[in-house]
Amino acid sequence: MLHLTLALGFIAIVISGSAFLGRMTVRNKSIFEIPNLDTCLRIGIGSLILSHSLLLMTCTQLISKTSLAVLLTIISVFAVIEITRYFLPWLIASTWKLGSRRNALFAVFFLLYSLWIIVFSMLPPSDRDELIYHLAVPKEIFRSGGFKLFQDNIYAYFPQLGEMFFLWARGIFNETIAEIASKLHHVSFGFLTALALYSYSRSFLPKTYCFLATVVFLTVPSVMQVMPLAYVDMTFTFYSFITLVCLLQFLESPRVSYAILMGALAGAAASTKYTGISFAGLIICVILIYQLARKEKRYARHIPTIILSFGFVFAPYLVRNFFWTGWPLFPFPFFGKQLSSGLNWDLDRAQLYIQFLASFGTRSGGTPLLDDILGPVLVFLKARFNEPRFYEGVLGPIFLMIPIVLWKKTIRPPLKALLCFTGLFFFYWTFTTKQVRFLFPILPVLCFLLVFGIAESKRKNILSFLVVPLLLFNLHAGVKESLQKQPLPYLAGSESRSAYLIRQWPGLVMYFDANKRIGVEETVYLVNMKNYVYYLDCSWRADFIFERWWLEKALELNANTSEFHAALRSREITHILLDTEFIRSDLWGLEGKGRERFQKLLTARSFEVSQSGPFSLRKLV
């Protein structure tokens, strides 16, 4: 409990301090004139300022326990001021004003849901993206005292607005507390998104329906599965939704201040995930459509302001990447020139990576065009967890009610803009990466449209009754997926951290063994070992996205064992950690002469140091 308490305290300081910075930035003015929504906006602006401050520290090699502790001390002062002057009075004024028994039930749901999410945040990180880069990259940055050349891990060059806070926690606490704090930071942005959705809905709907909209959002199975992880999807969703709300304000009153704010918020979304660039492009498309429809409003003249504001916020990541790699959008080749030497990446892999991202949601043996056309419907019906062919996540069929509940309804101007953006977003999603998590930015909008349609219907009681089993279906799917990890033995204290992690993926036992056996001057090369490098403390090399890429190329170029052995040693590789079963399989393994040459190397120029199941650690001789 001490670990959880310290992590919660860190998040309270970060969120409250961010609110203070945001309040000072907007000079305590109300932007949206919706109290809780303005609070969310200030937290978002303050978090952006803090994250970019940490980014500057990483780029100038100023990361250390001392510098991060000094920053936390300063933000703690801001947090105390914000809590005493604003948060406490707000809590006292708003607590227990539920209004009805139905709203009291919603309050009970939110309490139980929060406890559920917090409990799962206490589990050791075991999800793929956590271990490959969300936690692995901040760990390496802190160890190096700042940003460095990441030769192999291409994800290190992704935007890192969220990961900067993971880095901060890593510098303040021990490993366990830092992991919990990182997860809770992601959780906090999930709840901030829910609060922003509730607050915006209050402009149109009674309190009960606003609660319902947030329940629909929080019970989306993929949201339940992703929220307690050290990810950035909820952070991205938050900034995307706040940007959309700002767009609606801009379309109603096209002012320069809204254009600057909208561009900055879209830049914050892009500073969280590259897909924020596309999100900003869709925002521009909506503005152009409205310009054609309402020529007297002169929306288009503000587009340069939006782009400049967006670029100002997002530019630090472009500059950093260009400096280290030569490609501003690395690992993607767009707008790049010559790729810097020393990087385990090339144009061929970049183009294959783009094709790979576009393959989500395409069934094996299916018709790609048909899959694309039906994607916006099938994603709500046939999506599955951990299956790229089936959108790699679950949203549930509840959102298919939206066309039904909005049929023949009088659509107010703000809702027309939301529908326009939703249509554009699904069109973009259909022909890019058809993955459930790429739909997260539009989820709050879908939840609002669904509940708005129900509230405006003459048969609202019947529709509300129909929503209940669909909500229960989603809740069941989310709980079932969360329990796949079987967390109870660890949470009850009857299972150790390492035993829990090895149960999630048996190969981790070899990672822990490699940490003990590989010396300071030695380097291990990972072959089909999932690249869960967060748990590797020794020096390592690996191929990301396309595992074995360098290995297969080296086997092609070096005909005999001695040449191949020399190629490995030229990369300072002293050990190989591999999944022998995977690499020898007929379906996924090495083929032909490559398999023969690799087997000769293992037999003639290496010996086994340790082994567990199909996983083997071998030392080159």
pLDDT band, residue 279 (cuts 50/70/90): very high
Q: Mean pLDDT across the stretch 474-493?
A: 92
CA 559 to chain CA centroid, nearest Å: 43
Q: Match 């101007």 to its residue by tokens.
A: 413
pLDDT score at 583: 79
Distance CA 404, CA 424 (A): 20
For residue 235, which of 270, 280, 197 has the smallest C-alpha distance?
Answer: 270
Q: Which residues are 526's β-sheet partners?
A: 577
Pairing of strands 615-620, 575-579: antiparallel
111-120: pLDDT as tens digits: 999 999 999 9
pLDDT band, residue 220 (cuts 50/70/90): very high
Task: Indicate if the pLDDT at residue 336 is higher than 90.
Answer: no
Give the HSE-up count for residue 173: Cα atoms under 13 Å, Cβ half-sphere. 23
pLDDT score at 144: 94
Q: Mean pLDDT across the stretch 223-242?
A: 96
pLDDT score at 27: 84
Is there a contact between 396 and 373 (Cβ–Cβ < 8 Å)? no
Q: Which residues, at least 6 apart from 403, have a Cβ–Cβ distance to it below 8 Å?
A: none
Q: Mean pLDDT across the stretch 311-316?
A: 97
Coil/strand/helix, residue 509: helix
Task: Indicate if the pLDDT at residue 324 is higher than 90.
Answer: yes
Give the HSE-up count for residue 310: Cα atoms under 13 Å, Cβ half-sphere. 24
Q: Which residues, at least 6 apart from 174, have a Cβ–Cβ distance to it below 8 Å?
A: none
557-568: pLDDT as tens digits: 876 888 888 888
Is there a contact between 598 and 551 (Cβ–Cβ < 8 Å)? yes
Q: Which residues, at least 6 apart from 574, have a Cβ–Cβ distance to it below 8 Å?
A: 518, 522, 523, 524, 619, 620
291-301: pLDDT as tens digits: 988 877 788 89
Question: Which of 224-233, 388-397, 520-529 comes out lowest in average pLDDT?
Answer: 388-397
**What single letter denotes the amino acid at residue 451?**
V
pLDDT score at 560: 81
Neighbours of 16 (CB within 10 A): 23
Is there a contact between 558 and 596 (Cβ–Cβ < 8 Å)? no
Q: Mean pLDDT across the stretch 504-509?
A: 94
Which of 594 and 360 is assigned the larger pLDDT?
Answer: 594
Is there a contact between 282 and 425 (Cβ–Cβ < 8 Å)? yes
Question: Which of 164-173, 189-198, 272-281, 383-392 comes out lowest in average pLDDT?
Answer: 383-392
Q: Which residues, at least 6 apart from 619, have a Cβ–Cβ distance to it below 8 Å?
A: 574, 575, 606, 607, 609
Tokens coding 376: 């916006």
The whole model's pTM is what? 0.93
Task: Indicate if the pLDDT at residue 364 is higher than 50.
Answer: no
CA distances to 80, 131, 252, 416, 548 from 294, in Å: 47, 49, 11, 13, 55
Our CA angle for 279, 316, 55, nearest 5°, is: 110
pLDDT score at 365: 45
Q: Mean pLDDT across the stretch 444-448?
A: 96
